[in-house]
A and B are shown apart, each in its own frame.
Chain A
Amino acid sequence: MTGALQAQSAETRAWYNVARHGDTLRLAVGGAWTVSEARRLDATLRGFDASGSTYVEIDCGALDRIDTTGAWLLLRTKRILESHGISVKPVNVRPEYRALVHTIDHECRAPPVELPRRHSFDAHLERIGRGLCHALHQGYELIGFFGHVVFETIATVLQPRRLRFAALVHQMEETGLNALPIVGLLSFLVGVVFAYQGSDQLRDFGAELYTVNLLGVGFLRELGGLLAAIIVAGRSGSAFTAQIGTMKVSEELDAIQISGLNIIEVLVLPRLLGIIITLPLLTFYSNVMGLIGGATMCYLDLGITLPAFLHQLQTAVVGWTFWVGLIKAPVFAFVIALVGCHQGFEVERNSSSVGRHTTQAVVESIFLVIVADAVFSITFSWLGI
């Protein structure tokens, strides 16, 4: 990249020379004083030594071309010399350069800004502190939003006419129906992998039939629900943030508000209820697809036929196993919708903010889903389920 500029002005190089007459120093400059020459000039001019002189004349008569950078270099030299008590006078300045020199001399009174250098220790410490405060603030805001949404949900349940049915069905299609291919494929593949790894380990003990137990319990209790929730968080949680955030950027949220509509009711409830209805269904679907993947692998790898697989599955999946996985789904759904919508409202009015909050929505909702899963596990083991 640097070649482009240098090649362009290679024909006239910038130069300067110094001549001394008694206590007068004559600094003659010439050639093209432009930004492409500035690197060479900068180093020598910064340390320009005029000691022993009381008067410096800058002779600009031989200048072919000068731009703001070149003019700044001359002006900077002049100011440095003047700060040492040497008087400086530019001479032979061509009339067409006067406006430029005047503009720079006149405008640039302020000392050059020193940009804060990043990556210093202090800056890192500050970032950690900022990050922590930001996270705490986000948590606080999220709890407030949670209360607001719960309040509106109850109000809507008590007055079902307020529910926007078309929007709800649309959200169910978006978050549920359209997610079927990806959830199905991934669950099937994870089932295959799970069965393969399980059978590999259990074969050493001659217990390969228990691969079915591993699959059944693993998928129904944990994996199916988590897989569905994580995919939905990535697909729909991010979409909620992006949709609401974009509406905020384009002032549509303000328009909704002043039209006397309830933002939570219009934007959040259809999404929240839609995902609460569809995520349990997706979880069930993920369970089924995972088991199909596992059964396929069991047949190919271990020779376990479908009837034998189903028989073993019935002995493994007893009592609460199936419901334990399904109960968690609405909670995961609530977390995903809450975080996704909340991040959407947090978007500031610039376009990069939408991207940042969308990423944050995905990370935060997956994090909270896994935290919720851990809480469920502890609770269930405490209850002895």
Chain B
Amino acid sequence: MSEVADQAVVIRVRGLVTRLGGHVLHDRLDLDVFQGEVLGVVGGSGSGKSVLLRSIIGLQQPTSGTIEVLGQNLADLDGDALIRMQIRWGVLFQDGALFGDQTVAENVQIPLREHTDLPQQLMDEIASVKLSMVGLPSDAAKQYPAELSGGMRKRAGLARALALDPEILFLDEPTAGLDPISAAQFDTLVRELQQSLRLTVFMVTHDIDTLRATTDRIAVLVDSKITIGTIGSLRDNANPWIHEYFSGVRGRAALTA
């Protein structure tokens, strides 16, 4: 841990408590995400992984605690300051969350149209650059989200998330619902883009193959608490859920592959 201690902290969560419907989802969580790393967040269904992501990007109000992103406390931001913050991160929602009444290229151009004043021709070029960066064929640009497969929708969603060259990329279950081959390709893509664009990636996932292929560190949400480590250190963890996750049949198969 000493080698990462001097790295810049991009996301700093302190004492986060989230209570939903009388149920404590997060109990005084602390979490640091360092610049340029890929952090995977895992946990059982309903353990609050997605809620943690939503809290960090400001879609969910924490019950108490502070969340700092890029050195600024989210609770203090409003209006223009919040928009300035929002364009520094990109979010890929579970099923892409593309706008169904616009083509893929138009979806990618939405952030550009909203936050820049680029001429249309350049926006078309940028959209096609981003789409080819995420590995979509050029004819996908003119298609509507409903005409794409799940994997292509995720890639298109990723292209939109990257439209303004964000510093942080949030991924919510990027490989859920993809076949193993597409999932593996998506993992490689995320890793390559993360390196070439020097992104910090915060990824919520179930997929142990994705964890192995892409993440630098892993945060496990169990019993409203967080445990951080690498795959190697977490395999020896005494917590039964963590042990089962990394050393159970599926975990072992994926990690020894």
Query: Chain A interface (Cβ within 8 Å of chain B)?
Result: 1-5, 7-8, 34-36, 38-39, 42-43, 67-69, 72, 76, 96, 99-100, 102-104, 107-116, 348, 350-352
Contacts and interface: CB of A to CB of B under 8 A. Distances in A.
A4 B84 CA distance: 6
B132 A109 contact: yes
B114 to A, nearest CB: 5
Chain B CB within 10 A, most for which of A4, A43, A99, A102: A4
Contacts of B84: 4-5, 7-8
Interface string B91-118: 0000000001101011000001011111
B125 A112 contact: yes
Contacts of A7: 84
A2 B115 contact: yes
A35 B196 contact: no
**Tier of interface size on chain B:** 35 or more
Interface of B: 80, 83-84, 87, 100-101, 103, 105-106, 112, 114-119, 122, 124-133, 135, 137-138, 141-142, 145-146, 162, 164-165, 192-193, 195-198
Contact of A108 (B100, B133, B197): B133
Contacts of B196: 99-100, 102-103
A5 B132 contact: no
A110 B165 CA distance: 21
Given A1-B115, A39-B119, A116-B142, 20 more contacts: A2-B115, A2-B117, A4-B115, A7-B84, A35-B112, A35-B164, A38-B118, A39-B116, A39-B122, A69-B165, A96-B198, A103-B197, A108-B128, A108-B133, A110-B137, A110-B138, A111-B128, A113-B128, A115-B142, A351-B100
Ranked 9 nearest A-B pairs via Cβ: A67-B165, A99-B196, A110-B138, A113-B141, A103-B196, A352-B100, A112-B125, A112-B128, A107-B132
Given A7-B84, A102-B196, A103-B196, A72 B129 contact: yes
B116 A5 contact: yes
A110 B138 CA distance: 7
18 contacts: A1-B115, A5-B116, A8-B84, A38-B122, A68-B133, A68-B197, A69-B165, A72-B129, A76-B125, A100-B196, A104-B129, A107-B129, A110-B137, A111-B138, A112-B129, A113-B128, A116-B142, A352-B100
B162 A68 contact: yes
B132 A69 contact: no
- Describe B's contact surface by its main secondary structure: helix
A112 B124 CA distance: 7
A80 to B, nearest CB: 12
A5 B114 CA distance: 10
B142 A42 contact: no
Given A76-B125, A115-B103, A115-B124, A42 B165 contact: no
Nearest to B197: A100
A348 B146 contact: yes
Interface-centre pick from A99, A108, A110, A113 (highest chain B CB count, 10 A): A113
A42 B128 contact: no
A68 B167 CA distance: 12
A34 B105 contact: no
B128 A107 contact: no
B133 A107 contact: yes
A103 B192 contact: yes
